[in-house]
Amino acid sequence: MTASIEANLVGVYEAMGHGALDAVDIPSVGIEGNASSQSARLLTNKIATIGKLIGDAPAKTKRRMSRDAEPTPRRLIAIGASAGGPAAVAAVLSAFPVDFDGAIVLVQHLDAQFVPGLTDWLGQHTPLPIRPAREKDSPQAGTVLVASSADHLVFKSAQQLGYTPSPKDNFYRPSVDVFFGSAAQWWPGSVIGVLLTGMGRDGARGLRQLRDKGHLTIAQDRATSAVYGMPKAAAEIGAAVDILPLSAIGSRIIEACERST
């Protein structure tokens, strides 16, 4: 908790990089009216959600350079992350050159209000343009789009992204599984699925769907994960072609892209 998330974004993302699951302004105390009750309710809702995540975790774990975008990129880099994700995503993106020709979409477990700050922070670690994904967006080569809603980011056609509230019973919002599954169904080219540090099992099933379709899938290893939940779940069901330390994931993606050129 912090007195002001907006005034302390650097500290918030540093904490998330070390494994914090979420951030919230300190609830108002001693103030009558809706503002006080709403801030308290926000905190209790976040605690309840984290409680579900812990319950679902394995038992042993508790500006920028510009470039012309290709209208129809052949490669999609689909990244999913949760606890510890911002720092891990920054490490992966920092490996990509300014002329990287893959389209990148990130699904990070994070409240929508934090996404603009996250994109600004990640932008310090990559020369690629990065912004929140909007309804009817199309992935573009060399651009990073970030899921930015409590609804799930999905492909609604072969090239068009959008948001959906379904499945409503999935408390991972936005869900990595849902996005990976839609990419496996709709994306016409090759996909590289990447599942990074996080608590719980979200993303494992979707990563398996991508592998079953013949796409390259990568999971972060135990030693470099802030929370070895999501990557472990993927490893347990054979969803990952490669299980790699964080420092090797960016270069592996580049290598795979060069081989398929």
Residue with tokens 């608590």: 199
The beta strands (E) that lie in 14-164 are given as: 75-81, 103-108, 130-132, 144-146, 152-155, 161-164
Q: Among this protein's residues, is 18 annotated catalytic?
A: no
Instruction: Report pLDDT digits (tens) over 143-191.
Output: 999 999 999 999 999 989 999 999 999 889 999 999 999 999 999 999 9
Letter for the amino acid at 46? K
pLDDT at 12: 78
Q: Does residue 258 register a pLDDT over 80?
A: yes
> From CA 164, how far away is CA 167, in angstroms rounded?
8
Phi, psi of 246 (to 5 degrees): -55, -40
Q: Does residue 261 register a pLDDT over 50?
A: yes
Distance (Å) of CA 125 to CA 92, 96, 128, 192, 207: 9, 10, 9, 21, 25
- How sure is the predictor about 206, in pLDDT bands with cuts at 50, 70 and 90? very high
Q: What is the mean pLDDT of the chain?
A: 86
Instruction: Report pLDDT digits (tens) over 107-153.
Output: 999 989 999 999 999 999 999 999 999 999 999 999 999 999 999 99
Q: Among this protein's residues, is 25 annotated catalytic?
A: no
DSSP states along 134-153 = -TT----BT-EEE--SSSEE
Which of 27, 219, 49 has the alpha carbon at shortest distance from 150?
A: 49
CA 139, chain centre distance (Å): 15
Instruction: Report pLDDT digits (tens) over 73-93.
Output: 889 999 999 999 999 999 999
Query: Do strands 144-146 and 190-195 pair parallel, antiparallel, or not at all (unpaired)?
Result: unpaired
Q: How many CB atoms lie within 10 A of CB 94?
A: 13
pLDDT greater at residue 176 or residue 33: 176
Can you give the residue ranges of every domain in the chain? 6-56, 75-259
Letter for the amino acid at 148? S
Q: Which of 22, 82, 152, 175 is an active site residue?
A: 82
Q: Among this protein's residues, is 109 annotated catalytic?
A: yes
First to last CA, the chain: 47
Cβ contacts of residue 169 below 8 Å, gap of 6+? none
Angle at 221 between CA 130 and CA 202, to 5 degrees: 65
Instruction: Report pLDDT digits (tens) over 40-51.
Output: 766 776 676 566
Residue with tokens 């472990």: 232
Q: Does residue 253 register a pLDDT over 70?
A: yes
pLDDT at 57: 40
Q: Which of 22, 109, 182, 221 is an active site residue?
A: 109
Query: May I ask the CATH architecture of the domain 75-259?
Result: 3-Layer(aba) Sandwich (3.40)
Q: Which of 182, 202, 221, 225 is an active site residue?
A: 202
Which of 107, 100, 78 has the alpha carbon at shortest distance from 254?
A: 100
> From CA 237, how far away is CA 245, in angstroms rounded?
19
Burial class (CB in 10 A: 0-12, 13-18, 19+), 186: middle
